[in-house]
Amino acid sequence: MTNTIGDIEKADVILITGSNTTENHPVLSSFVKRAVKSKGAKLIVVDPRRIKIARYAHKWLRPNLGTDVAWINGLMHVIIEEGLYAEEYVASRTVGFDELKKTVAKYTPEEVEQITGIPAQEIIDAARLYAAAAKGSILYCMGITQHTTGTDNVKSLANLAMLCGNLGIEGGGVNPLRGQNNVQGACDMGGLPDVYSGYQRVMDPEARKRMAAAWNVAELPDKPGLKVTQMMPAAHDGKLKALYIIGENPLVSDPDLNHAEKSIGNLDFLVVQDIFLTETAKLADVVLPSACFAEKEGTFANTERRVQRVRQAVDPPGQAWADWKIISAIASRMGYPMTYESSRQIMEEISRLTPSYAGISYDRIEYEGLHWPCPNAEHPGTPILHKEQFTIGKGVFHGIDYLAPAEKADEEYPLYLTTGRLLYQYHTGTMTMKTGGLNAIAPECFVEISPRDARQYDLADGVRVRIASRRGSIQARIRVSDKAVSGTVFIPFHYAQAAANRLTNAALDPISGIPEYKVCAVKLSKAA
Amino acid sequence: MSEQDLIVINGNEFSFEPGETILEVARRHSIDIPTLCHLQGAVPTGACRICVVEVQGARTLVAACATPAGRNMIVQTESAKVIQARRMVLQLLLSSGNHNCAVCGSGGGNWTEYQLKVLQAEDSDELCPVWGDCRLQELAFRYQVTGEKFEAAVTPYPMETANPFIVRDFSRCIQCGRCVQACNEIQVNQAIHFGYRGTATKIIAAGDQPYINSDCVFCGECVQVCPVGALVEKEARYRVRPWQNKKVRTTCSYCGVGCQLYLHVKDNRVVKVTGVEDVPPAYGSLCVKGRFGFDFIHSPERLKTPLIKENGEFREATWDEALDRVAGKFEAIKAQNGADSIGVLTSARITNEENYVAQKFTRAVLQTNNIDHCARL
């Protein structure tokens, strides 16, 4: 997030898109709801499903799946056309406005209605509402990024925020909501194929030299590695021979699971390090038992870049070890002694080698976490990014055209499928499915379908159906719901027995490598 | 600072900001005015009257939580009149339902008889589940009152246990309204409200339905703010006594919001989770997963030893054996197929320190940049 969670309550208008906030970030959603109910903020929700947060919205726009660039361009078209943009901000802090203006000129509200299904007048009203606010906050999640045009979608939102002068101010920002406790930290720490901790690029000879010296090795590899979504095809083709998977369950969470299973099966050696014998761990050659969050010391970085402490409350079960201890032991046995004695000692090394974490230490975050960038021990942290100027100097507008999703519904597969999470389960369910009460409320997979589609396909609530895509099929019960909009069904991806990801499309965004989980074509039939 | 900005509390002068309540000024200066219904972040209701103070020249005692500080106001927070009023409020609250915790002997009445009567009326054979962790009990002790002065009212509403997470015991509810405010003003789930009128008043969900049939999403904020034993975690009820636990503060391991929580630990087990109030980002709020979804920690299905697969079956192994196998295999594959034939998936679930070590291992030891995690998935 460019801004903080607390900042949401300072916004005059909040635009939420591609985020089922009340279910996936329940506590953060309360900041939005309070802003609306008690502080007079206006709320615009743009989502293909009539999700719960839409109940609190002044405007709910319902786009066709995968048409985000089009509606965002539509809003900017209206804002520029009506002269509602932040002229001074655009002039002094950005470049590329003319390119943007040229691109969005084509996206008249009528044109956008054709693509997105959002009535032209709604586009105009939403544009005016967002642009009229002194402080506008944009919140988005995987509904924006999990598309073949995910990067374009995010850039378009950044365009919109800059156009209205909403980046770098309190109560504004473009705020991605991170879905996992430490997805921010995993990125910050260099758990990515092209960067070391603090986003220092592996292609940069200076950075490479610095890290090699600090790590006491002669040299470090200079070309970026494979993304997770490239590792599976590489395994499939026999180029990747071994995989070491820590705390992930790709055999439920990957797209096009049938393909992923074959890829994993093709490996010479698979090590899985986890707290449970997950679907993925069952295929491993060696399984290493690790400690869960309650059994170790450390830090997580939350969605607002706040680095917070994790503390040990109980002992790990049996012989389980903290992950850092296991990794260090393997390194040592491979002739590279890693002799850390505590997580604190590792954090000291992180601060030394990571400019954005340089001022972060356990002593400083004992009571309250700090937002990175925090370049030195006196620095108070950075709750709001881009305040004086953007990291790269001026903010760059990108003129971006709409591209259709990779897969279209057709006669054979007439319905669109989108996937996501439920309030009562979490990701692949390895943790939440151990709590009886959560299972009692959300026991099994279902297909959410609109009342009209249910009538059309003659499917009653609770009936078992087979859902098939071009890649696979699963069975689940029908749930007729007002949340669904005709033509689109929704399936939660938590349940391994009826894994939605047997259906999803592994087509990737060319830049981020994120799969298009949010759009594919399916058909329904009554289960035999 | 001009003289107009001053308020006198218990003989000391304090400055205040326009709009600040007497309670806020007092708290800022560590003057303890007791509260029951007052809830940080919600609009003060002045419902319970425990926070009454004496303001010179005022006709009656005023609620400190709802009265703005005024210039030259002279306030007494523990005068005889104030104490008398608080004692009366407490006596009424203690007799409003099933509050069998009152301080023994302090009222001179028949404690045993009182206890027996209370036990008969209740579905349990023990004292109140929050004994020792109850704001009402704490205040009863502080002001040395019992519930014997007035006849105890019998609550007509049965206990609700029809959901997996929260027990609603209406006999212990003092109708302070904190849960209603927490649900409507803090979490804004708008699931519970005051229902009925007068002595029949009850906190209700969805036209007086059990939580499970209402808009309740089991965030448990109502339990967290309940000052008495009316709302209690089902799993922890009667299994955990507050003085038996140690509390360890940590960060929630579900979504990316990073709510701060206390893990309540008894006998090396996490038995209950509560939110840490007064600190960002969540100021004590949690969701159903963070508050109630912790059974996985002590699940019998947890992995406890390294496993090695032989002939398609797993067998238990020692760490030495497993680590040697992994290190040996990585070395062999690296030697035969090159470093880029190995990949590492680190995790958005583990700590920063562990992710750092994982990338260092991948780059410095394996000598490849093939490292990623599930941010994309």
Task: Please state the ipTM of this predicted complex.
Answer: 0.96
Residue B123 confidence (pLDDT) above 60: no
**Residue in B206, B273, B218 with CA at minimum distance from that of residue B240:** B273
For residue range B3-34, what is the model confidence (pLDDT) as tens digits?
A: 568 999 999 999 999 999 999 999 999 999 99
Percent of all residues in chain B with a pLDDT value above 70, rounded to a whole number:
92
For residue range A9-66, what is the model confidence (pLDDT) as tens digits?
A: 999 999 999 999 999 999 999 999 999 999 999 999 999 999 999 999 999 999 999 9
Instruction: Test B343 with A179 for CB contact under 8 angstroms.
Output: no
Domain boundaries, chain B: 3-78, 242-298, 307-376
Q: What angle do CA A20, B376, A361 make, to 5 degrees?
A: 90
- CA-CA distance, A362 to A378, in Å (whole number)? 14
Strands A136-140 vs A174-176: parallel, antiparallel or unpaired:
parallel
Range 174-213 of B in CB contact (< 8 A) with A: 185-188, 212
Query: In this predicted structure, what is the pLDDT of residue B114?
Result: 59
- CA-CA distance, A413 to A470, in Å (whole number)? 8
Residue B147 confidence (pLDDT) above 90: no
For residue range B228-253, what is the model confidence (pLDDT) as tens digits?
A: 999 999 999 888 888 888 999 999 99
CATH code, B242-298:
2.20.25.90
Architecture field, domain B3-78 = Roll (3.10)
Query: In this predicted structure, what is the pLDDT of residue B104?
Result: 47
A469 touches chain B (CB under 8 A): no
The domains found in chain A, sorted by start residue, are 6-177 (3.40.228.10), 183-371 (3.40.50.740), 415-526 (2.40.40.20)
Residue B121 confidence (pLDDT) above 60: no
Rounded mean pLDDT, B364-368:
98
Instruction: Look at B336 and B95; give whichever has higher pLDDT.
Output: B336
- CA-CA distance, A87 to A105, in Å (whole number)? 17
Which of B346, B352, B374 has the CB atom closest to A300's CB atom?
A: B352
Please provide the average confidence, as pLDDT, over all residues in chain B: 91
Range 185-244 of A in CB contact (< 8 A) with B: 185-194, 196-197, 202, 211-212, 215-217, 220-221, 223-229, 231, 234-235, 239-244
Count of beta carbons in the 10 Å neighbourhood of residue B377:
27
Q: To probe the interface with A, which of B336, B352, B371 has the most A CB atoms within 10 Å?
A: B352
Q: Which long-range contacts (CB under 8 A, 24 or more apart) does A363-371 make?
A: A365/A299, A365/A307, A365/A308, A365/A309, A366/A309, A367/B279, A368/B279, A368/B280, A369/A302, A369/A306, A369/A307, A369/A308, A369/A309, A369/B258, A369/B280, A370/A306, A370/A307, A371/A4, A371/A304, A371/A305, A371/A306, A371/A307
- CA-CA distance, B159 to B129, in Å (whole number)? 13
- CA-CA distance, A438 to A179, in Å (whole number)? 19
**Residue in A287, A283, A299, A421 with CA at minimum distance from that of residue A360:** A299
Could you tell me the pLDDT band of residue B112, with boundaries at 50, 70 and 90?
low
B132 touches chain A (CB under 8 A): no
- CA-CA distance, B169 to B160, in Å (whole number)? 7
pLDDT < 50 regions, chain A: none
- CA-CA distance, B360 to B326, in Å (whole number)? 17
Query: In this predicted structure, what is the pLDDT of residue A325?
Result: 98
Query: In this predicted structure, what is the pLDDT of residue A141?
Result: 96
Residue B79 confidence (pLDDT) above 90: yes
